[in-house]
Chains A and B, each alone.
Chain A
Amino acid sequence: MKLIVVLFVLLFLAFALLNLSLSRHRVKLSNRDGSFGVGQQRRFRIFGYLLLFITVAFATAMWGVSLGLVYWFATATLTSILVVLL
C-alpha cells in the first residue's frame, strides 16, 4: 500500500511537470506575467521525463517486470487524468 502511494505521488509530480512544460496550459497555472521562460519550460520537461523513467524503474524493482508495469500503467492513467481534471 505504501509503495502504491509513493508511485502515485511521483507519477503525479511527473505529469504535473510535463503539463507545465506544455505551453497550452500555461496561462492558467503560471506566475503573474503569464508565462514561464523557455529555459524553465525545458527544465520542467527534463525533470518530468526523468521522473517517468525513475517511476518505471521503481515499479519494476518493487513488483517485478510484469506486475510492476501493470501498476505503472494503472497509476499513470489515474494520475494523468487527475492532472487534467485539476
Chain B
Amino acid sequence: MKARFRQSMSWLHTWTGVVFAWMLYFIFVTGSVGYFENEIDRWMKPEIMVSKGLEDSAITNIATRQLSIHGDNASQWYVSFPTSRDPFIEISWLEPENAERKTAKQWHESSLDPVTGALIRNRQTSGGEALYRLHYNLHYVPQLVGYILTSIAAMLMLIGLVTGLIIHKKIFVEFFTFRAQKGLRSWLDIHNIFSVLPLPFHLMITYSGLLLLMGITMSPVIDLRYGEGQQNHRQFYAQSQIEQKSQQIIEMLPTELSVQAALADAKRRFKSHKVSYVGVVERNTEKEHIEIWFESKSGVEFASLLEYRAIEDKVMLETSLGKAGGAASVYDFLEHLHEGLFADIYLRWIYFLSGLFGAAMVATGLMIWLKKRKAVNSTNKILTSIIERINIAMILGLPIAIASYFAGNRLLPIDFPSRAAWEMHILFITLGLCILYCGLASKKWLWQRMLCCAALLYGVLPILNALTTEHNIWLSWINSDWLMVGFDLTVLFISICFVAAFWVVHCRQEDISVKAAQ
C-alpha cells in the first residue's frame, strides 16, 4: 500500500512539474529579478541624478515648487525622498481628466535635479517594474488570463512541492549529499539540493503567490455574497481591507497646516523613522489631506502612514495601525513576505538567490524527466528531441532575452516611438529567436553556444553602459553611485558564471567524446 502510494505520488510529482515547467521557470526567473526592481529601474534611467545629503525640508521645498508649476490642477501630489534603494528625488502627480482636450486622468512622474531643482527628462523605459510584472501578467495575454495561468502554475508548483517531499525517502540523511559524475543520480542530487535547502522559501513563495491572486481565482466566492462584476467586488475589497486608525486632534492651526509643517510634526513624533514619501491627496476638495509615509524597517510590515487633515478650526492626525480584519492582516503579512519590500540588502540577495534556486529546481527537474524519457526505447524520439531543444532555448534563452532587454534600453534611440513597449518586444523577440535557433542548429554544441552567447551579452552590458552614458564603473564608484556600480558588477559576475558553466559543459563533453572514442 505504502509503496503504491509513493508511486502514485511520484507520478503526480512528475506530471505537475512537467506540464507547466517552462512557465514556472519563467515565473521564477522574472520574479527573482523583480526583487531588484528599483535597482534595475535606476540603471534603466541613467539620466537620474543621485541626491545626497539634502535635508528633507529642502527636498520638500524643491519638490513642491515643481509640483505647483507642473501639477497645479492635479488632484494628487507625491514626493518621494531619496532612500538607499531609490537614491533620488522623485515627484508624481495625478492629472485629472480633461473634457476639452479629451484626456483621461493620468499619472505623471519625474525625477528632480537635486542641485537646480529642475525636472529631469528620463528616457522612456519599461524599467524594472515591467520586468517584475512579467511573472504574473505574462505581458501579451489579457491580464485576467495571465493571472489565471500563473495561479494554475502556482497550484501545480505547490502540488509538486508536497508530493516531492513525500517521495523523497531520505530527506534528512541525504540533506547535504551531492554525488558528482554519477549521471542521473547526480542530477537527482542537484534537484534535491535546490528543492530541499531553500524549501522554506519555495513553500512560502508558492503558497503566498497563490493567495495573492485569490481575489481572481476565487471570485465566485465573492460573487455569492457581493454579486458579480467589478463594481460589486470593489465593495468586498473596501469592506475587507478597512484600515484600523487612531485619531487625535493636534496643536496646530488649520492655517498653519502645510506639507512642511506636517513633515516637521511627523518627524517630531517618530524620531527614529525615516520618511519615504509625502503626499497631498484629494487636492482642492473638502477632503484634502496630507499623507506622510514612513520607511519602517522594524518588522515585516513595511510602511506606516500618518494623515493630517484640517477639520473646521482644528487639525486632525490619523495614524494607521494596520488592517482591521484578521483575514486582511494575514493577507497583508503574506503579501509582504512574498514581495520582500521590508528586506534589507542581505535578505534581498537571499530572496533573489532563493528564487534562482527555484528556477534551477524546475530546470533540473526537467532535465531528469528528459533523461529518463530518453532511456526508455519506446518513446517518441522526435517529440523528445523537440522538447529537449525547446528546453535549452528556455533555460538559457530567458537570461539571454533579459540581457537583451537591458541592452535595448541603451541601444534604442532616445526618441524611438513607443520605446518602452519596444524594449519589452525585444525581450520576447530574442526569446523567440533563441527557440528558433535551438530548433534548427546542430544539437552537439547547442549548450555551449547558448552559454557563450549569454556570457557575452552580460559581459557587454557594462561596456554598453559606459559607451552610451557617462556612467562607467570607475566614475560611478567615485561618485558613490552604488546602484550603478552594483548593477554593472552583478551582470559581470553573471557573465563569469556563464563562462564557468560553459567550461564545465565543455570539459564534460570532451570527456564523453574521449570515452566514446576509446
Give chain A's interface residues, CB within 8 Å of chain B: 1, 4, 15, 18-19, 22, 24-25, 64, 66-67, 70-71, 73-78, 80-81, 83-84
B300 contacts the other chain (CB 8 A)? yes
Q: Closest CB-CB distance, A70 to chain B, in whole Å?
A: 7
A interface majority secondary structure: helix
Cβ A77 vs Cβ B178 within 8 A:
no
- With a 10 A CB-CB cut-off, give which of B173, B175, B342, B343 has the most chain A CB atoms: B175
The smallest beta-carbon distance between A45 and chain B, in angstroms, is: 10
Q: Does B396 contact A (CB under 8 A)?
A: no
B residues 24-44 in Cβ contact with A at 8 Å: none
Q: Is B275 an interface residue (CB 8 A)?
A: no
B287-341 at interface with A (beta carbon < 8 Å): 298-300, 333, 337
What chain B residues lie within 8 Å of A81 (beta carbons)? 193, 197-198, 357
Chain B window 339-359, contacts with chain A (Cβ cutoff 8 Å), 1 for yes, 0 for no? 000110011001101100100
Contact indicator B174/A24 (Cβ below 8 Å): yes
6 CB-based A-B contacts, threshold 8 Å: A15-B176, A64-B299, A77-B353, A80-B175, A83-B176, A84-B193
Residue contact A74 to B173, C-beta cutoff 8 Å: no
Contact A78 B177 (CB under 8 A): no
Judged by a CB distance under 8 angstroms, whether B458 is at the interface is: no
Query: In the docked arrangement, what's the CA distance between A70 and B354, Å?
Result: 13
User: Within 8 Å of chain A (Cβ to Cβ): is B200?
Assistant: yes
User: Which residues of chain B come closer than 8 Å to A4, judged between CB atoms?
Assistant: 346
Instruction: Give the contact-size bracket for chain B.
Output: 20 to 34
Give A63's nearest chain B residue, CB to CB: B299
Checking A1, A24, A76 against B173 with a beta-carbon cut-off of 8 angstroms, the contacting residue is A24
On B, residues with C-beta under 8 Å from A are 172-178, 193, 197-198, 200-201, 298-300, 333, 337, 342-343, 346-347, 350-351, 353-354, 357
Instruction: Provide the bound-state CA to CA distance between A73 and B205, in Å.
Output: 13
In the assembled complex, how far is the CB of residue B351 from the closest CB belonging to chain A, in whole angstroms? 8
Residue among A15, A24, A77 making CB contact with B354, cutoff 8 Å: A77
B107 to A: closest C-beta gap in Å: 32
User: Is B178 within 8 A of A74, CB to CB?
Assistant: no
- Using a Cβ cutoff of 8 Å, how many contacts connect chains A and B? 63
Q: Known A70-B300, A71-B347, A77-B350; judge A19-B200 contact (CB<8 A).
A: no
Closest to B333 in A: A66
Give the complex CA separation of A22 and B357 in angstroms.
24
- C-alpha spacing A31/B299, complex, angstroms: 46
A78 and B347 within 8 A (CB)? no
Residue from the list A18, A71, A74, A77 in contact with B175, Cβ < 8 A: A18
Give the 8 A-B CB pairs with smallest separation, nearest first. Answer: A74-B350, A73-B200, A19-B176, A77-B198, A80-B197, A66-B300, A84-B176, A81-B197
Tell me if B176 and A77 are in contact (CB < 8 A): no
Contacts of A1 in B (CB 8 A): 346
Which of B176, B198, B300, B333 has the most A CB atoms < 10 Å from its CB? B176
Chain A residue with minimal CB distance to B197?
Answer: A80
> Are A84 and B197 in contact, CB atoms less than 8 angstroms apart?
yes
Residues of A within 8 A of B343 (CB): 70
Question: What residues of A have a CB within 8 angstroms of the CB of B354 in the complex?
Answer: 74, 77
Q: Are A78 and B353 in touch, CB under 8 angstroms?
A: yes
Whether B197 contacts A74 by the Cβ 8 Å rule is: no
Residues of A within 8 A of B173 (CB): 22, 24
In the bound complex, CA of A64 to CA of B176 (Å): 29
- Across-interface contacts of B200 in A (CB, < 8 A): 73, 76-77
Q: A77-B198, A77-B200, A84-B197 are in contact. Are A70 and B174 (CB under 8 A)?
A: no
Closest to A85 in B: B178
Check A70 against B193 for contact (C-beta < 8 Å): no
| Closest residue on chain B to residue A23 by CB atoms | B173
A4-B346, A66-B299, A84-B193 known; A73+B201 contact, CB < 8 A: yes
A19 to B298, CA, bound (A): 34
User: Which chain A residues border B172 with CB–CB below 8 Å?
Assistant: 22
A64 to B298, CA, bound (A): 9
